[in-house]
Structure 1
Amino acid sequence: MSFSQGLSGLNAASQALDVVGNNIANSQTVGFKTGSIAFADVFAGSQVGMGVQVSAVNQSFTDGVLGAGTGSLDMGIQGNGFFRLQNEAGRVFYSRNGQFQKDANGYVINNQGMFLTGYQATGTPPTIQPGAAVGPIQIPDGQMPARASDSGTLNGNLPSGSDVVTNTTFDPTDSTSYSTAPTMINAYDSLGNKHTINVYFAKTADNQWTAYSKDMTAPGDGFQQTALQFDTSGQLTTNPAKLHVQGAAYHGGEALNFDLDLTGMTQQASEFSMNSPTTTGYAPGLMNGYTVGDNGQVIASYSNGQQQLLGQVVLSNFTNPGGLSSQGNNCWSETPESGQPVTGTSGSGNLGTLYGNKLEASNVDLSKEMVNMIVYQRNYQSNSQTIKTQSELLQTLVNLG
């Protein structure tokens, strides 16, 4: 019987060394999770055991150290969750390896060519629509189309000590028809043509002003105006304080047609000053690059200074990650023992946090593995000794015969 016991010990120790060897071999594999072997004794209806067997090889899903990535699409996870991957046949896999790049069609893939999945941004401007389906994320290379300006803001201070304008006929070329130097504002039409809008202020009476706007790029038929009333504390009482912007069509684009919000204007006994004006809209732009935010959002930047949401990576977690089936290539697949996946965005529910431009290192502890290797080697030698001893006993019996 000792032969079978010793042999089972040799097999078990050999498999244990295989696990240790695999851990050490993958100590530099991104997202690798260390394995550990579990043993169970064998009985066959007697008080003397039949040996040992390997009952399971378990994996530890503790976090690896998060380090700097080398690519713009590198990602790392801390906490619960896996990247959700999909092959060309539609089969779903799960991984902690965050090394991704873009393929020839713009899809985000891993080193094995499997698609990274998440929510694709749609609409203008692109957003993640409620109830969006999870699928492969694609990064388009196309030009960002222009957006026409449809609103803007302008605020600052008008000097209360300014003289009242006596020339009540406004003329941009006649400085006696307004009180302040023009404020220039940039706006864009439907084709992305840039327009310069000048805003003028004329004091018409104490605490009363008139604001004028004129499209200097496509002047059209004149100017727009609105009256502004201030109280004795210099606070604007006009509500709503809107100055319309209107011009002519320019180089095929639609004419500008939007309002500037002047709500923040004040009138104080200080110099004329305007804060930086803002308007919506922008010219068309070419993609300069893309990054992954810490919430899993893929953001593209363009030559027109704008950024645009392209998609958002999702994570999946399981009730029992240890029940996942290892498929190689740093991937696992769902099993009845793992339970069904819970999928969501970074930081939601019990999902961990996804970090852009980071990579999760292997969680292998090399010092521990070296100690385990020594222990299993001694175990192997000890089992070999039981077989040798049993052989010597049999030889003694043969000699007695």
Structure 2
Amino acid sequence: MAITSAMSNGVSGLNSFSTALEVTSDNVANTGTTAYKSNAVRFGDMVSSYYNTQSKDTDRRGAGSVVLGVATDFAQGPFTNTTSWCDMAVNGQGYFNLAKYDSDTKTVDSQVFYTRDGSFHVDKSGALVNYQGYAVLGQDKQPIFVEPTPETPSHTNFYVDSKGQIWGYPVDGTSDPETIGAKIRMVIFPNEGGLIRKGGNLYTNGPESKTPIDVTDNQTLRGDIAGYTLEGSNVDLAKEMVNMIVYQSSYNANSKSITTGRDMLDTTINLVR
């Protein structure tokens, strides 16, 4: 019956726009998240069986809408200056590499995570880590130790150059800075859209992102690293608020399709009373 089909169409619209509101609210909630990349819903139409028209051609009858997927906008976010040399931002393409590190056994987990969030610090073992305790990997895919012996520090006044090399001034008074550690490893992906979001500003590579490409020494393909800087969220708050209004209005309109269908169904039932 066409009436029940109209109600089903309305239900599909409710499902689609509730998902859209979920994605939009997630964007709004992450407006202040370091290096967060906003997401957008992609809608698609559904069809049912063929039906005849006045022409010789046939069309498909509409059966509502469906969410085809959620697309991520990987555009670079704005930069913010900080007071910590460990805060780093990539100006251009590239991802930092992180992995779990066991300081007791001195082993690195094989699972590598990728991030644009460069809010790092030096832990008690002297390793450069993020705030979840994952070690930042160098070009040799090993953790970077800023201070191999934290109890007796040998360098001070650290900084990172645009190529990802960490430098420090010897505490013995030597004037020239010295390199610290295997540059910070940087990779890019043939298809960023295929990265799998893991939470905590981390991604893993997926079958569609393809194998990461090491661009640590390739200044053409990778961006420069800026110290004392963090990349902000690329969420456009004004745009998200407009989207929220549109999705809410569309949700309400689809609920109206259901209530109207119900009223029509009641009218049909009352005809036989």
TM class, shorter-chain normalised?
Answer: 0.7 to 0.9
| Match of residue 335 from structure 1 | 206
| Match of residue 33 from structure 1 | 37
Cα-to-partner distance string for 1:160-185 (whole Å, 9 max, x where unaligned): xxxxxxxxxxxxxxxxxxxxxxxxxx
Task: Measure the CA separation in 2 of the matches of 1:347 and 1:355.
Answer: 16
Within the alignment, does 1:5 sit opposite 2:12 as a pair? no
Cα distance change, pair 384–346 in 1 and its aligned pair in 2 (3 A):
farther
Task: Measure the CA separation in 1 of the matches of 2:217 and 2:239.
Answer: 32
| Aligned length, in residue pairs | 247
Asked if structure 2 preserves the Cα contact closer than 8 Å seen for 1:81 and 1:352, the reply is yes
| Match of residue 88 from structure 2 | 75
Asked if structure 1 preserves the Cα contact closer than 8 Å seen for 2:33 and 2:232, the reply is yes
| Match of residue 309 from structure 1 | 179
Q: What's the offset of the Cα at 1:38? A: 0.3
Q: What's the offset of the Cα at 1:342? A: 0.6
Task: Measure the CA separation in 2 of the matches of 1:290 and 1:114.
Answer: 20
| Match of residue 142 from structure 2 | 135
| Match of residue 44 from structure 1 | 48
Q: Where does 1:2-401 land on structure 2 (aligned, <5 Å)?
A: 2-46=6-50, 47-88=60-101, 89-119=109-139, 133-140=140-147, 142=149, 286-303=154-171, 304=173, 305-311=175-181, 312-345=183-216, 348-401=219-272
Give secondary structure in 2 for the equivalent of 1:368.
helix
Q: What's the offset of the Cα at 1:9? A: 0.4
Larger Rg belongs to: 1
- The amino acid that maps onto 1:299 is W
Asked if structure 1 preserves the Cα contact closer than 8 Å seen for 2:86 and 2:121, the reply is yes
Task: Measure the CA separation in 1 of the matches of 2:44 and 2:178.
Answer: 56
- The amino acid that maps onto 2:110 is G
Give the TM-score taking structure 1 as reference length.
0.59
- The amino acid that maps onto 1:57 is V
Cα-to-partner distance string for 1:276-325 (whole Å, 9 max, x where unaligned): xxxxxxxxx94223111222111111231331101311211101100111
Q: What's the offset of the Cα at 1:115? A: 1.0
Give secondary structure in 2 for the equivalent of 1:71.
coil
Give secondary structure in 2 for the equivalent of 1:63.
coil
Q: What's the offset of the Cα at 1:117? A: 0.8
Asked if structure 1 preserves the Cα contact closer than 8 Å seen for 2:6 and 2:258, the reply is yes
Q: What's the offset of the Cα at 1:116? A: 0.7
Q: Is the deviation greater in 339-348 or in 99-108?
A: 339-348
Task: Measure the CA separation in 1 of the matches of 2:36 and 2:115.
Answer: 9
- The amino acid that maps onto 1:50 is A
Q: What's the offset of the Cα at 1:347? A: 5.5
| Match of residue 104 from structure 2 | none
Task: Measure the CA separation in 2 of the matches of 1:361 and 1:64.
Answer: 5
Q: What's the offset of the Cα at 1:106? A: 0.8
Q: What's the offset of the Cα at 1:81? A: 1.2
Task: Measure the CA separation in 1 of the matches of 2:149 and 2:254.
Answer: 66
Task: Measure the CA separation in 2 of the matches of 1:373 and 1:105.
Answer: 46
Task: Measure the CA separation in 2 of the matches of 1:5 and 1:346.
Answer: 54
Cα distance change, pair 286–114 in 1 and its aligned pair in 2 (3 A):
closer
- The amino acid that maps onto 1:385 is K
Give secondary structure in 2 for the equivalent of 1:77.
strand
Cα-to-partner distance string for 1:16-67 (whole Å, 9 max, x where unaligned): 0111100010000010000011011112323221111111101101010111
Q: What's the offset of the Cα at 1:78? A: 1.8
Q: Is the deviation greater in 321-330 or in 42-51?
A: 42-51
Give secondary structure in 2 for the equivalent of 1:386.
helix
| Match of residue 106 from structure 2 | none
Identity of matched residues, %: 36
Give secondary structure in 1 for the equivalent of 2:43.
strand
Give secondary structure in 1 for the equivalent of 2:178.
strand
Task: Measure the CA separation in 1 of the matches of 2:8 and 2:82.
Answer: 51
Q: What's the offset of the Cα at 1:70? A: 3.4
- The amino acid that maps onto 2:40 is S
| Match of residue 150 from structure 1 | none
Task: Measure the CA separation in 2 of the matches of 1:59 and 1:116.
Answer: 24
Asked if structure 1 preserves the Cα contact closer than 8 Å seen for 2:96 and 2:116, the reply is yes
After superposition, the CA RMSD in angstroms is 1.6
Asked if structure 1 preserves the Cα contact closer than 8 Å seen for 2:125 and 2:148, the reply is no
Q: What's the offset of the Cα at 1:349? A: 3.6
- The amino acid that maps onto 2:176 is Q
